[in-house]
A and B are shown apart, each in its own frame.
Chain A
Amino acid sequence: MKKFIIGLLKVLGLTYVILFIVFYFDLDGKFLYYIWEPNIVTRYDKMKKKDNTKTPYEKKENVMPDSEVEKRTFN
């Protein structure tokens, strides 16, 4: 048990040190900037998407009752 706890503490300590190195040398930023972002952007650029400009634009139903619309319409 004692050995396990010491082992666990060692792993946690080492993880903490590694994380501090990542933090201090901005390795998270460098990874995201140089590796993640260019690759994910390439994906979005190539992604096939629906052409929303083909959505028909026509008169919609009023969401208010007709009486309200009439009240607010300037003649």
Chain B
Amino acid sequence: MKNFTVKGFLNQFISVQAGKKVVDDAKTGEIRDKRVSIQERIGNGIKNFDLKKTIDVFLNGRPHEERRLGDLYIGNTGLYKHREWRGFKDTMYYFNMIWLYNYGHMVMDIFKGDEPLAFFKGVWRYRWMGQTYLSVMHWFDRGLEGLRGEALKASAWHYRAMVSETIRQFMRMFAADKKLHLGMENEYWKKTIAHDETVSGNIFYPWRDVLDDVPLQMIPYFVSCHVNNKTVLNYIDAMQSIGLPADPCPMCQAESGLFVEDDYPDYSPVMVTSNEACDGSVATSIITDWFLDRPLFAMPQPMRFDDPLVQKHCQEEIEECWKFIEKEMGVPFDFEQYKKYAESFNKLTEFEHEKWDVAANTPYYPINGVAQALYRIYYSQDGDREIWHETDAHVKKILDKCVKNKIETFPKTRHRAIAWSCAPLYYSNWCTWAYNCWGINTIINMDSLMFDQMLRTDTYEHALEDLATFNELAPMRSMAVGGHEHIFQLWDYMERFNCDMVIMYDQLQCKGMQGIKGMFEDEFRKRNIHAIWVPHALPDKRTVSRREIRSIINDYMTTVMQEEPLDPTLLDFDDSESW
């Protein structure tokens, strides 16, 4: 409460500026004009009132072309004048089964955590927590905008799972965090393994029943960018303030900035790092080593992973990592535990294949682009957790229903798009916008297609071999910087998923992908593929704004495709200050 000022609070609450504006408007006659305009609108409304249509809108919502979703936004805030009326059934579903259900379950998840009260301490202590995660329902709103029926339900289940797992992770971090416990090392601290977000959770299965493993940056950095993209800017700036130039990958900048800002929870006696699957960020391990100052095992993923010698090296690295954990945590390696969790994880992969089959070959796939992308990368990186199985069970019911009843979940689809390379974290919901505005339906994306393998568990040797491959196919490494033959797998996937358009992400600060841009352009021309380049700077919205991204897609759709928007109110709007 030390920083709380009554004046500041009242300024926010009573909004003195707003009061002044009302007085000014009254003087200039603006209020009178507004009143006349409202009277006219009401008059016209009464004159043109159509009972049948009103009932239809109440029951079914407006047809896609009449929704005018862009009119719902308040200025540049991204807030809604009111949330969308989706028809009675879908609005009540959203209210009861998404909004209320998730708020309720968030509270339950917090109280299920290892130390519920630590939640409040965490909110009070960490910027990424207090500024970001309380606004999580708006993350749902942005991603699920315009969705109806089964697509709304299935996509929302994916969001629910991500929220639940996020809460589990930060509650474990807070329970173990020395900073929240007066510098004391409690039992949770002694039994938690910290690792980079790009070190697969699968590596730690041999200890899952005894120890917990939590990626250090997943919640403070990665997920936070999607939920509230303002928070991360502090960490990027903090890193640059100690001398880092602005052009390295902003992901590594932000992750390192967490240390500079002293905004990382201290929840583990050890750390396992990677090269963040991109050799541009090898230095992140060094910075982590400096700031964390504790036993650290660096396990970089190799660049050219096709080489069998590299495979052998990667296996040795994993074994060394296991020895490191045994030694530092004092808990022996247990292959039976590894088998149990790896086999359980395989079930998630099996269902993912089933989903892909429906997405590729039918118009009945009920998961939108952003839900597909985020859920898949989250669980495949995180490893086996109960919540993913629960979610898949819900989604399977919906998927089966859609296929059985031939429900076209995205009926306004004009183009089936594949999104390739690394996506803008601050605008992962661009695909929701693209469908609502242009009918561009993002069927699949590169991040979803990584980790496409089963983990054998019949022998230790097979298990290690598969785990090494899995580790090599880390995010970004597998296709984006793993050699041009892998990046060009795009053409095969386009065909497999029956896509007619590519949304080609162009991460402006990724030196790996920048090097191959020209080759892609040549191939697009040669193959006569409609491709839209979407420049961005991963978590940093200041380099290419969301509005600019929309404008690039709009330009392509009007000039090259010569199409009309489905919802013209979404063509251009200002959301520069939104979450």
A residues near B (Cβ < 8 Å) are 19-20, 23-26, 28-30, 32-44, 46-47, 49-53, 55, 57, 60, 63-64, 68
Contact = CB atoms under 8 A, between A and B. Distances in A.
Interface residues of B, number: 44
B576 interface: no
A49 B262 contact: yes
B3 A37 contact: no
A73 to B, nearest CB: 14
Given A60-B289, A63-B324, A52 B82 contact: no
B43 interface: no
B260 A29 contact: no
Contacts of A68: 320
Nearest to B137: A28
A34 B18 CA distance: 13
A54 to B, nearest CB: 10
21 contacts: A23-B83, A24-B95, A26-B82, A28-B137, A29-B141, A32-B134, A32-B135, A33-B135, A36-B134, A39-B8, A43-B3, A43-B124, A44-B127, A47-B3, A49-B261, A52-B259, A53-B260, A55-B290, A55-B293, A63-B297, A68-B320
A63 to B, nearest CB: 5
A33 B79 contact: yes
Nearest to A64: B320
A29 B99 CA distance: 12
A52 B291 contact: yes
Given A28-B137, A50-B262, A52-B260, A44 B131 contact: yes
A19 B138 CA distance: 16
B573 interface: no
Nearest to B292: A55
A33 B76 CA distance: 12
Contacts of B13: 35
Interface string B311-337: 000000000100010001000000000
Interface in B249-281: 259-263
B361 interface: no
Contacts of B127: 41, 44
A20 B260 CA distance: 42
